[in-house]
Amino acid sequence: MFSLKLSISSNSEDAASKHDNLLQAIKAMSDIEEVLVGVVKFHPQWHCLLKSVDTRVDKILSVLRPQAFADHRAFLVSLGWPPKLLPSKNGSDHITNLPNPLVLMQEDKRRNYSQSFIALCALQHLQNRREERQLNSSLIKRDTQNIQLWAIDELVSPIASRMEYHFTKWSEQPEYMFALAYKVIRDFITGIDDVLQPLIDKARLIGCSAKEAWVSAMVQMLSVFLEKKVFLLLTERYKVKHLKPDVSSSWLHLVDLIIAFDKKMQSLLNLDTCFLAVSGSFEELSRGMSVLSMFCNRPDWLKIWAKIEFKNAWKKLKSELIEEKAWMTSKKCISGIDTEQEYLLLTVEDHKAPPIAEFFLKIIWEMIERCQTMPSSLLSAQFIRFTAGRFLWYFFKQLLFRFKATELCPDSSDDVAIVRVCGLINAARYIWIKLQEWSDAVDFLEMKIAENDSSKPIQDDSMDNDCFFEEEIRSLSEMETNWLMEIIAVVLRQFEVLSWKYVQNNDSFGDEQVYTNPVEDADLIVSNDFVEALDSLKRWLHTMKISLNKKDFLDLWRSIAEGLDHYISWSIVRSENWFFKMGVTQFEADMQALIFIFQPYCARPQAFFPCINEILKLLKLKKEEEKLMQAFLSRNENGSECLHLYGISHLSVNQILQVLRYKIWAC
């Protein structure tokens, strides 16, 4: 039975008999395989016996398999497969509808073809079982990912030969190649699913899909042709310096066509897959469903592609960088400054980021989307690192360059510099938010996991290994913080310069001080030497509220308030100014004017000036309370309890004694 040679016969009874003999032979070898699986499991030491049986089965298969393939190909020829491809006269934009011989075959031919198809499926199933046993249990995973079927490959092989004939004529018009491939795949997919899927189910090939096998085989055919006939030539030409611009343009055009084609394939299979919600099983299928699979085995081509994408993106951005309008916050952003919104907002207007930030992120996302049909998470991660990752660092340098070119100085009365720096901070903040949002998406988490699995584990526990853009986000956060600190330093320095005479003048809080400049909504008055500092501070804060995003402005004004509290309290303690009764009243009026400036940003701004509040409490103590406190503090007995009774917790004992020392009781 095993040595029987099958051939196509005009006698249908002979063909049926030979088919039955073939199935009996496959059944016999399947039974043998079942026995061998038991031997491996319970008697692994019988490896010599296993090897001997495998050798005999291999000899049998070496006879049956070629003959089964030859018979199947003969059946296909008798059916009229492959159909002729009839391109239109004007080239290949439109291809006439292709008849499907599988749908049109008559009953007897359908029966013979079905028997041959099932026989090939049975042979493949037997082969898979033998490979699982012989090689490794790890191959089981690879086999579950392999959606190729021998019977489907036999359909693709002859039609691919005819398609490649046309492909070679369209080397300068690759869009025709993809149009023809899509037309063939789409026209036959319904018939293949209707005719062949029941046969696959009958052959009990669990998890196999006729549609997926058909699309996968056709996609791989196109991918192999492009790899050998198109991209190989482009990579050679790319090495020639003067040809690089033309090669880059052709390369990008090809990638555009590939991405569009891959998306059409996903649509045909009803995968309903989007980039930010990719299913866990998609990668198992995608290697055979994507023309980009050619880059899996050619990392050098991946780098060339990434370099071309990067240069193209930089070319787009470069023209925008020199436009000053691109760095200016729009009026739409400024008009909405008083609206109550959450800090983590999504739009560029809400973050008051300049248009350049949105334009930059758009380019970044376009590069990321280029690899959305990449068949491997690790490959996608590498491509993004080569393109979007590198592009991010280049843009960070531009932000740093613009900041260094902006002169922030305390003596400047011009708001342009501070507005420019606020725009840079807003841009950094907006990009930071978007990168964090992207990193939280499933596909980026999978890419990060793939990166971690492919490299040595990172020992630094402080680094978030699940964040794809960890380093970029950390760099943006550092820039944002440093620039805020620069603004805070400038504001505090200018306040110090303008108020220096006020805090150092021994007569500032004397009885003979002349008072002018009434404060709004109060009967108190402000010292002349303090007015300019307050006016400058108010102007700076107003400008920054308009120009800075809400989150950073909140951090900024609180830090400024903290710095002013520290500066004034330290200056009062160290200045050795005498406080007369009227001077205390004057100091309180001045501090209320200072705190009043922060009233638009907080319901209780005095809470951010704890040291000043405590100094005022000390200056308002009655004479008996003051002596009692001095006595407690000098003996250092229950001093802390005494301070808590008066609500003092931020000033040290020495600072308290220094303030009380220069308080003068006079009529």
CA distances from 554 to 72, 351, 548, 593 (A): 76, 13, 9, 20
The pTM is what? 0.82
pLDDT of residue 636 exceeding 90, the answer is: no
Instruction: Output phi, psi for 518, to 5 deg.
Output: -65, 145
Q: Distance from CA of residue 652 to its chain's centroid?
A: 50
Residue from 534, 452, 467, 523 nearest 495 by CA:
534
> Mind listing the pLDDT tens digit for each residue in 457-516?
444 444 456 799 999 999 999 999 999 999 999 999 999 999 988 887 655 565 544 444
Most confident of 421-430, 573-582, 631-640: 421-430
pLDDT of residue 603 exceeding 80, the answer is: yes
Q: What's the CA gap between 617 and 646, in Å, rounded? A: 8
- Contact assessment for residue 68 and residue 4, using Cβ atoms and an 8 Å cutoff: no
Q: What's the CA gap between 70 and 72, in Å, rounded? A: 5
Helix, strand or coil, per DSSP, at residue 87: strand
Q: Distance from CA of residue 151 to its chain's centroid?
A: 40
Q: Which band of pLDDT confidence, cut at 50, 70 and 90, is reported for residue 339?
A: very low
Most confident of 121-130, 198-207, 389-398: 389-398
The lowest-confidence range among 41-50, 124-133, 498-507, 575-584 is 575-584
Q: What's the CA gap between 356 and 326, in Å, rounded? A: 5
Q: Which band of pLDDT confidence, cut at 50, 70 and 90, is reported for residue 12?
A: low
What pLDDT is recorded for position 75? 86
Mean pLDDT, the chain, rounded, equals 82
Q: Which band of pLDDT confidence, cut at 50, 70 and 90, is reported for residue 164?
A: very high
What pLDDT is recorded for position 13? 61
Dmax (CA) for the chain in angstroms is: 134
With vertex at residue 493, the alpha carbon angle to CA 487 and CA 494, rounded to the nearest 5 degrees, is: 95
- What kind of architecture, by CATH, is found in domain 506-513+522-662? Up-down Bundle (1.20)
Q: What's the CA gap between 308 and 253, in Å, rounded? A: 11
Instruction: Please give the full DSSP string across 212-257, using - where no structure is assigned.
Output: HHHHHHHHHHHHHHIIIIIIHHHHHHHTSGGGHHHHHHHHHHHHHH
pLDDT of residue 585 exceeding 70, the answer is: yes
Fill in the DSSP letter of residue 373: T
The torsion defined by the Cα of 232, 238, 243 and 247, in degrees rounded to 10, comes to: 60
> Mind listing the pLDDT tens digit for each residue in 131-149?
888 875 334 444 444 568 9
Q: Pick the more confident residue, 382 or 583.
A: 382
The lowest-confidence range among 232-246, 251-265, 460-474, 499-513 is 499-513
pLDDT of residue 158 exceeding 90, the answer is: yes
CA distances from 93 to 164, 223, 253, 417 (A): 16, 20, 17, 57
What are the structural domain ranges in the chain?
12-85+98-142, 153-293, 302-330+349-455+466-479, 506-513+522-662
